C-alpha cells in the first residue's frame, strides 16, 4: 500500500490571510508537526520561516503544491500554548497570522539551535547565587497575600489596588516564590524597559539565576539565551516588557502585570496592535494559570471589571512603615503671575520647596510632559509658526542641537533666520519643554547637580539606567523628566516633586485625558517621601479648582473612578463599549477622502449608527501620509466577532476597489 502524502498548513510571516498548504516530503514526516518551525518557498523568496498549525492528508486543489524544505531543530519548536496564543492575537486584534508570528519571532536570530556564537556569560541572566529569603510581610500585606490566593480559587484575574509604596512588589515576590516552589513559571510584566533595570537588582537577591530579563534592547545572543531557557524550563521567572508574552513558556502559574493602567502596554506599530495586559489574561488562561493586575491607579476598565465581579479585588491602603502620603500643594500660576511671584515658569512655592530640600540634602524631581526646549516658535509680528513639511504639526525647538525637530517623523531643520511671511528678524519661543526647564533650573540653583531624563537623553542603550542609578546613589540633586520618571521608581532621599504644567495634560483632547492626568499625577507624586520623610508635591496650574486636581489633592482614586465612569457611560465610551478604530492613509488627500468615505458607507450599511466618521485625526498628516479614521463603537447589541468579520471584509473590498499603490488601511482594536 502506498503511503499517503502528508500536508502541512503553515503560517507565513507575510501580510496574507489564513495559512498556506505545503507537502511534507517523506524524509521530514516525523519532524513536521503542529508547532514546528520550517522553511518553505514563498512567492519569489526561496526560503521563509513558517509555523506549522496542522498536519493532515487532504490533498489541496487549485494551486501548485510546493514542499517544505527543512525543519528547525526541535528545541526551536513553538509549543501548543504559544501557538494558540499567536492565533488568538491574530484573530482578536485583526492582524494577519504572519504578523502575530513575527511578534513571536522577529528574526530567526532569536531561536536556539542556530547558535553561531557561544552563550556569553551573564548576558541576559544574572550572576550571583547568594539567594535571600523574601522579607516578612506586614500584617496588612499578609492579609492581602492570603486574599489574593483565596480569590484565585474563584477568579482567573485579581486586581490589586495598592497605594504607592505599600509593598506591592514585596507581595509579588512572595507570589513568585510560591509558584517556583510549585515548579511553575512566572512572568512579571512592566510597561517600560527602564523600570526592569532598577527592579531586577532587587529581584536577583531573591531568585538569583532562576530569573531573567527580557526586552527588545537585549543583544540577539541574550534573547536567544532567554528563549532557550524559558523553553527548557530552567528559567523559572522572567521580568519583561510586553514582548515577553511571546516567550515559549512551558507552564505559567501566574502572570503579574504591574502598573496595569499604563498605556505603554499597548503596541501601536507594527501590527499586531495588542494590549499586553489584556493578552496576558488570555495567555494565563491558555496555561491554566492566573493573572494578577497591580497598580496604585488602576485603569477604569480593570476597576469596572472588578466592581462588576468579573475580577477579584483587593486593596492595600497604607504605605509600608506607615509613611504618610505626600502633602499635596496647588500653586496657582495665574495669581502668582499677577503678584509677579513667578520666576519664568516656576512659582515661588515651587522654588522655595526646591531650595529647602537642597539645603537639607534631599532630592527633587521636576516633571514636565514635553521634551525639547519649547513646543513651538512663533513670529511675534505676524503669528507665523514653523511646521514640519511632512506632517501637519509644528516643529519643537531643541536648543542643545540648535534645531527644529518634528516629534512625529523625526525630521529636523535649522532655525529660520527671519520670518518667511513678514520678514521679521526674530522668532520667539512659546511654551516650555524639559530642555528649557533644565536650563532655567541650572541658572536658579547653580550649585545643584541637575540631570534630565527624556527620549533625547536616553537614546543610548544604557543611558536611562545610568541616569537613574546616579540619582539613586545621591549624585544628582534634581532630576527633570517626562513621563519616563513617573513610574515605579523608589528613591530614599527624594522628598519634593514638582508638576510644572498640569493643564497641558488635563486639556489633551482625548476621552481618557482626565483619567490619565489623575494617574500620572498620582504616580509622580508617589515617588516622593517613600521612606521616613514625608514628601511634598507641588502642582502648578492655571485652573486650581479643576475637579481632577481636587481629587489628586486628596489622593481620592475612588471618587475619580466613580465620576469618570459616569461620564463614560453617558457618552458611550469604554468600559461601556468596545472601540475599534480603522485608520486609512494615502499620499493623496483626494484619494484618501474617496476611499475613507466609501469604506465608512460600506461599514455603515452593515453596522449603522455604531460607525462614526471618517474624520481627520488631531494630526492629519504624518510623514507625507494623509490620515483619516473611522471609529466603531460596539455596545451590548452587537457581537464583537461579527463586527470584526464585517470590518475585515470591508477593508478587503476597499483595498481591491481602490487598486492604487499608496492606500493603506488597518484596524486598531481597543485603541489607547
Ligand atoms: P510598591 O511596589 O507598592 O510601590 P514596594 O514593594 O516597592 O511598594 O515597597 C516600598 C518600600 O518599602 C520598598 O523599599 C520595600 O522594600 C519596603 N517594604 C515594603 N514592605 C516591606 C516589608 N514587609 N518589610 C520590609 N520592607 C518592606
Ligand atoms: Zn512674521
Ligand atoms: Zn514630521
DSSP codes joined into one string, 16-39: -SS-EEEEEPGGGTTT--TT-EEE
pLDDT score, position 503 = 93
Which ligand 1 atom is nearest residue 258's CA? 2
If phi over 0 gives left and psi between -120 and 50 gives alpha, with beta otherwise, what is residue 355? alpha
81 close to 75: Cβ distance less than 8 angstroms: no
Per-residue pLDDT tens over the stretch 217-236: 898 899 999 999 999 999 99
Instruction: Read off the pTM.
Output: 0.91
3-state secondary structure of 605: helix
**Position in ligand 1 atom list of the atom nearest CA 166:** 3
Start-to-end CA span in the chain (Å): 59
Distance 378 CA to ligand 2 centre (A): 8
> pLDDT tens across 404-415, in order?
999 888 889 999
Quote the pLDDT of residue 116: 43
CA–CA separation, 377 vs 442, rounded Å? 23
Q: Closest Cα partner for 75 from 211, 234, 252?
A: 234
Residue 498 has phi, psi (to 5 degrees) of: -110, 130
As for ligand 1, residues whose beta carbon falls within 6 Å of it are 135-138, 141, 162, 164-170, 320, 490, 530
Q: What is the pLDDT of residue 488?
A: 62
Q: What does the alpha-carbon distance between residue 135 and residue 187 come to, in Å, rounded to a whole number?
A: 21
Ligand nearest to the CA of 529: 1
Residue 250 clears pLDDT 60, i.e. is over it:
yes
Q: What is the pLDDT of residue 36?
A: 94
> How many Cβ atoms from other residues are within 10 Å of residue 157's Cβ?
24
Whether residue 427 is predicted with pLDDT greater than 80 in this model: the reply is yes
State the average pLDDT over residues 508-516.
91
pLDDT value at residue 408: 84
Do 370 and 456 form a contact (C-beta atoms < 8 A)?
no
Q: How far is ligand 2, taken at its centre, from the CA of residue 420, in Å?
A: 7
Which of 456, 527, 448 has its CA nearest to residue 489? 527
Task: Look at residue 125 and tell me whether its pLDDT is greater than 60.
Answer: no
pLDDT exceeds cutoff 70 at 117:
no
Give 322 Cα–ligand 1 centroid separation in angstroms.
11
Q: Can you tell me the mean pLDDT for 443-469?
A: 91
User: Which are the contacts of 638, defined by CB distance < 8 A and separation ≥ 6?
Assistant: 607, 610
With contact defined as beta carbons under 8 Å apart, do 566 and 575 qualify? no
pLDDT, position 339: 61
Give 528-569 pLDDT, tens digit per residue.
877 777 899 999 999 999 999 999 999 999 999 999 999 999
Largest CA distance in the chain: 99
For residue 408, the CA-to-ligand 3 centroid distance in Å is 5
Rounded to 5, what percent of the chain is helix, strand, coil? 35, 25, 40
> Above pLDDT 90, what percent of the chain?
73
Q: Cell 459616569 sits at which residue?
A: 566
* Nearest-atom index, ligand 1, CA of 141: 23
Q: Does the pLDDT of residue 85 top 80, yes or no?
A: yes
Number of C-alpha atoms within 13 angstroms, CB side, residue 11? 26
Angle CA(423)–CA(429)–CA(433) in degrees, nearest 5? 150
- Across the chain, mean pLDDT equals 91
Q: DSSP character for 278?
A: H
For the stretch 3-57, pLDDT in tens is 678 999 999 988 888 899 999 999 999 899 999 999 999 988 888 999 999 999 9
Interatomic CA distance for residues 153 and 523, integer angstroms = 31
The span from the CA of 6 to the CA of 11, in Å, is 17
The gap from C-alpha 482 to its chain's centroid, in whole angstroms, comes to: 15
Task: Ligand 1, residue 138: give the atom nearest the CA.
Answer: 23
**CA atoms of 427 and 32, how far apart (whole Å):** 67
Regarding beta strands 363-367 and 494-499, do their DSSP bridges make them parallel or antiparallel, or are they unpaired? parallel
CA of 320 to the centre of ligand 1 (A): 6
Contact 85, 242 (CB under 8 A): no
CA of 414 to the centre of ligand 3 (A): 14
* Closest ligand 1 atom to 488 CA: 4
Residue identifier of the C-alpha nearest atom 14 of ligand 1:
490
- How far apart, in Å, are the Cα atoms of 26 and each of 4, 53, 179? 10, 19, 43
Whether residue 270 has a cis bond before it, omega within 30° of 0: yes
Whole-number Å distance, alpha carbon 139 to ligand 1 midpoint, is 13
- For residue range 627-663, list pLDDT tens digits in order: 999 999 999 999 999 999 999 999 999 999 887 679 9
Strand partners of residue 628: 584
Pair 10, 51: CB distance under 8 Å:
yes
**What integer is the mean pLDDT of 490-498?**
90
Cell (9 digits) for 66: 510546493
Give residues with Cβ within 8 angstroms of 509, minimum separation 6.
618
Mean per-residue pLDDT, 413-432? 91
Residue with cell 531573567: 212
138, 148, 165: which to mutate for ligand 1, most atoms within 8 A of CB?
Answer: 165
- The ligand that comes nearest to the alpha carbon of residue 379 is 2
What is the position in ligand 1's atom list of the atom closest to the CA of 172? Answer: 6
Amino acid at each position: 500500500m502506498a503511503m499517503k502524502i502528508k500536508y502541512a498548513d503553515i503560517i507565513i510571516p507575510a501580510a496574507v490571510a489564513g495559512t498556506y498548504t505545503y507537502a511534507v516530503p517523506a524524509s521530514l514526516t516525523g519532524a513536521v508537526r503542529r508547532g514546528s518551525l520550517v522553511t518553505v518557498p514563498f512567492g519569489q523568496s526561496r526560503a521563509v520561516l513558517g509555523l506549522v498549525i496542522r498536519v493532515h492528508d487532504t490533498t489541496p486543489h487549485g494551486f501548485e503544491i510546493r514542499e517544505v524544505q527543512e525543519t528547525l531543530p526541535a528545541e526551536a519548536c513553538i509549543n501548543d500554548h504559544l501557538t494558540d496564543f499567536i492565533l488568538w492575537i491574530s484573530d482578536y486584534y485583526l492582524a494577519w497570522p504572519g504578523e502575530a508570528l513575527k511578534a513571536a519571532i522577529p528574526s530567526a536570530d532569536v531561536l536556539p539551535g542556530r547558535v553561531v556564537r557561544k552563550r556569553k556569560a551573564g548576558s541576559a541572566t544574572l550572576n550571583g547565587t547568594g539567594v535571600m529569603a523574601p522579607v516578612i510581610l506586614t500584617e496588612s500585606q499578609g492579609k492581602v497575600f492570603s486574599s489574593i490566593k483565596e480569590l484565585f480559587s474563584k477568579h482567573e484575574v485579581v486586581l490589586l489596588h495598592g497605594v504607592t509604596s505599600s509593598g506591592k512588589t514585596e507581595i509579588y515576590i512572595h507570589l513568585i516564590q510560591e509558584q517556583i516552589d510549585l515548579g511553575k513559571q512566572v512572568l512579571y510584566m512592566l510597561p517600560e524597559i527602564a523600570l526592569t533595570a532598577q527592579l531586577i537588582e532587587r529581584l536577583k537577591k531573591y531568585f538569583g539565576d532562576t530569573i531573567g530579563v527580557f526586552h527588545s534592547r537585549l543583544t540577539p545572543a541574550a534573547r536567544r539565551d532567554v528563549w532557550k531557557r524559558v523553553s527548557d524550563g530552567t528559567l523559572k521567572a522572567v521580568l519583561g516588557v510586553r514582548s515577553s508574552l511571546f516567550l515559549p513558556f512551558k507552564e505559567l502559574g501566574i502572570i503579574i502585570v504591574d502598573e496595569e493602567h499604563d498605556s505603554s502596554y499597548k503596541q501601536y506599530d507594527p501590527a499586531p496592535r495588542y494590549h499586553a495586559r489584556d493578552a496576558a489574561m488570555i495567555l494565563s488562561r491558555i496555561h491554566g494559570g492566573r493573572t494578577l493586575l497591580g497598580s496604585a491607579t488602576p485603569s477604569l476598565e480593570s476597576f469596572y471589571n472588578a466592581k462588576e465581579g468579573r475580577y477579584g479585588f483587593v486593596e492595600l491602603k497604607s504605605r509600608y512603615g506607615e509613611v504618610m502620603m505626600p502633602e499635596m500643594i496647588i500653586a496657582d500660576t495665574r495669581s502668582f503671575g499677577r503678584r509677579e511671584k513667578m520666576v519664568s515658569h516656576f512659582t515661588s512655592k515651587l522654588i522655595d520647596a526646591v531650595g529647602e530640600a537642597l539645603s537639607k540634602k534631599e532630592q527633587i524631581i521636576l516633571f514636565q510632559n514635553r521634551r525639547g526646549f519649547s513646543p513651538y516658535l512663533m513670529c511675534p509680528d505676524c503669528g507665523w509658526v514653523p511646521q514640519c513639511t511632512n506632517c501637519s504639526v509644528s516643529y519643537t525647538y531643541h536648543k542643545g542641537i540648535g534645531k527644529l525637530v518634528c516629534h512625529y517623523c523625526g525630521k529636523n531643520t535649522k532655525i529660520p533666520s527671519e520670518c518667511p511671511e513678514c520678514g521679521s528678524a526674530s522668532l520667539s519661543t512659546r511654551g516650555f519643554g524639559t530642555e528649557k526647564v533644565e536650563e532655567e533650573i541650572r541658572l536658579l540653583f547653580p550649585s545643584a547637580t541637575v540631570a534630565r531624563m527624556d527620549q533625547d537623553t536616553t537614546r543610548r542603550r544604557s543611558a536611562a539606567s545610568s541616569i537613574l542609578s546616579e540619582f539613586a546613589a545621591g549624585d544628582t540633586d534634581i532630576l527633570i523628566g517626562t513621563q519616563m520618571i513617573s513610574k515605579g521608581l523608589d528613591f530614599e532621599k527624594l522628598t519634593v516633586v514638582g508638576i510644572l504644567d498640569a493643564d497641558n495634560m488635563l486639556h489633551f483632547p482625548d476621552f481618557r485625558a482626565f483619567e490619565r492626568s489623575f494617574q500620572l499625577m498620582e504616580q509622580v507624586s508617589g515617588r516622593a517621601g517613600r521612606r521616613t520623610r514625608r514628601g511634598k508635591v507641588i502642582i502648578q496650574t492655571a485652573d486650581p479648582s479643576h475637579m481632577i486636581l481636587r481629587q489628586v489633592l486628596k489622593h481620592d482614586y475612588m471618587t475619580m473612578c466613580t465620576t469618570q465612569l459616569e461620564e463614560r457611560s453617558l457618552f458611550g465610551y469604554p468600559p461601556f463599549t468596545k472601540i475599534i478604530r480603522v485608520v486609512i492613509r494615502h499620499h493623496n488627500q483626494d484619494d484618501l477622502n474617496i476611499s475613507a468615505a466609501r469604506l465608512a458607507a460600506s461599514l455603515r450599511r452593515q453596522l449603522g449608527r455604531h460607525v462614526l466618521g471618517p474624520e481627520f485625526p488631531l494630526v492629519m498628516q504624518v510623514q507625507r501620509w494623509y490620515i483619516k479614521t473611522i471609529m466603531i463603537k460596539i455596545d451590548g447589541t452587537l457581537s464583537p466577532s461579527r463586527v470584526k468579520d464585517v470590518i475585515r471584509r470591508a477593508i478587503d473590498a476597499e483595498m481591491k476597489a481602490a487598486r492604487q499603490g499608496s492606500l493603506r488601511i488597518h484596524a486598531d482594536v481597543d485603541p489607547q
